[in-house]
């Protein structure tokens, strides 16, 4: 019985795939472009080519599967963000039902339980879709991805500042995507949870974006400022980075909602606390990218 991994070329899915590869367990990956997979994954895993929102792809990939790692990938050009995500949720639920997949690890989000939180609430809907058909579901409600700071590299490099719609002194959960992948992979490999479980993924400690500015500044040897911005500014930045108008509207509303409800998350416990610190991420990932930034065309970084 195999494990099926979605988004195996993204930050999180690739980490899950690498962990499964190291374990020796048989697994299947669903990839829209298999050429982007690592050579080791291509040589070892069963590869199903196709997009997650295409009918039949998830059902074909999960034949004979015991477990599924499900992640709804970013889509910056869709004209219907909610429809895109919910279509994947419905297709995944149908595949799980038809093929009797017993375990699903689903990457959800902090705040998914709120029906009034734009963008994130649809992940709560998908949680319910999957729980309706699978006996064992682990929904991982992750905090702010540290990799989202990579989208701030151009303004940090050019202006010594980065811009988000959060108060500078508001503590939020910040988590590295590699840690999310590790949590998901461990759950898939151990299969130790029973029933329908919701678990936060919180990073090692809550941090503020004011603190993040100080950490980044110390790492790159120059002052870095954090500037809180409003929804219109977020929307304009997304449009400038190539997002569709529908996605810009959707994501800007989601970011404002998350900023307003940052404290509305799963309780922090030993199980929800992951190891990679803000300092480690900045030193090992963000600062080298800032140092190497050029005038090459820039595009949105899909953290998931």
Q: What's the number of CA atoms in the CB half-sphere (13 Å) around residue 264? A: 15
Residue 42 lies in a domain: yes
Residue 77 lies in a domain: yes
Residue 246 lies in a domain: no
Residue spans of the chain under pLDDT 70: 1, 294-304
Distance CA 5, CA 41 (A): 11
pTM of the model: 0.94
In this predicted structure, what is the pLDDT of residue 1?
65
In this predicted structure, what is the pLDDT of residue 295?
39
Distance CA 140, CA 123 (A): 11
As given in the structure block, the two tokens for residue 133 are: 């058909």
Domain count, the chain: 1
In this predicted structure, what is the pLDDT of residue 301?
53
In this predicted structure, what is the pLDDT of residue 140?
98
Can you give the residue range of the structural domain that contains 136? 2-144+175-201
Residue 54 lies in a domain: yes
In this predicted structure, what is the pLDDT of residue 302?
53
Residue 133 lies in a domain: yes
CATH of the domain at 56: 3.40.50.720
Residue 168 lies in a domain: no
Residue position matching structure tokens 């930050």 = 11
Residue 38 lies in a domain: yes
Distance CA 288, CA 43 (A): 31
Residue 98 lies in a domain: yes
Which tens digit of pLDDT belongs to each residue from 14-63? 999 999 999 999 999 999 999 999 999 999 999 999 999 999 999 999 99
CA distances from 236 to 114, 136, 252 (A): 26, 41, 9
Q: Beta 2-5 vs 27-31: how paired, if at all?
A: parallel
In this predicted structure, what is the pLDDT of residue 303?
58
Helix (H) or strand (E) holding 130: helix 121-131
């Amino acid at each position: 019985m195999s494990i099926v991994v979605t988004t195996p070329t993204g930050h999180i899915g690739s980490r899950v795939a690498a962990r499964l590869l190291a374990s020796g367990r048989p697994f299947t990956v669903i990839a829209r472009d298999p050429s982007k997979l690592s050579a080791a994954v291509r040589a070892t895993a069963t590869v199903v080519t196709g997009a997650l929102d295409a009918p039949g792809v998830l059902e074909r990939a999960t034949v004979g599967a015991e477990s599924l790692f499900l992640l709804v990938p970013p889509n910056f050009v869709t004209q219907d963000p909610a429809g895109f995500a919910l279509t994947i949720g419905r297709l995944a639920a149908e595949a799980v039902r038809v093929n009797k997949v017993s375990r699903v690890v689903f990457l959800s989000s902090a705040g998914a339980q709120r029906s009034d939180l734009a963008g994130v609430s649809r992940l709560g809907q998908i949680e319910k879709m999957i729980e309706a058909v699978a006996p064992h579901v682990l929904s991982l409600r992750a905090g702010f991805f540290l990799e989202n700071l990579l989208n701030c590299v151009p303004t940090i490099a050019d202006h010594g500042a980065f811009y988000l719609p959060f108060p500078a002194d508001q503590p939020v959960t910040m988590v590295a995507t590699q840690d999310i992948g590790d949590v998901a992979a461990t759950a898939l490999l151990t299969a130790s949870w029973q029933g329908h479980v919701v678990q936060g993924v919180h990073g090692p400690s809550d941090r503020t974006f004011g603190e993040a500015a100080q950490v980044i500044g110390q790492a790159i040897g120059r002052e870095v400022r954090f500037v809180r911005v409003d929804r219109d500014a977020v929307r304009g930045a997304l449009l400038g980075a190539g997002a569709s108008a529908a996605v810009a509207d959707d994501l800007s509303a989601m970011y404002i909602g998350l900023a307003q409800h940052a404290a509305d998350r799963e309780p922090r416990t030993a199980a929800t606390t992951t190891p990679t610190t803000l300092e480690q991420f900045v030193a090992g990932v963000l600062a080298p990218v800032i140092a190497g930034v050029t005038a090459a065309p820039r595009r949105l970084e899909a953290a998931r």
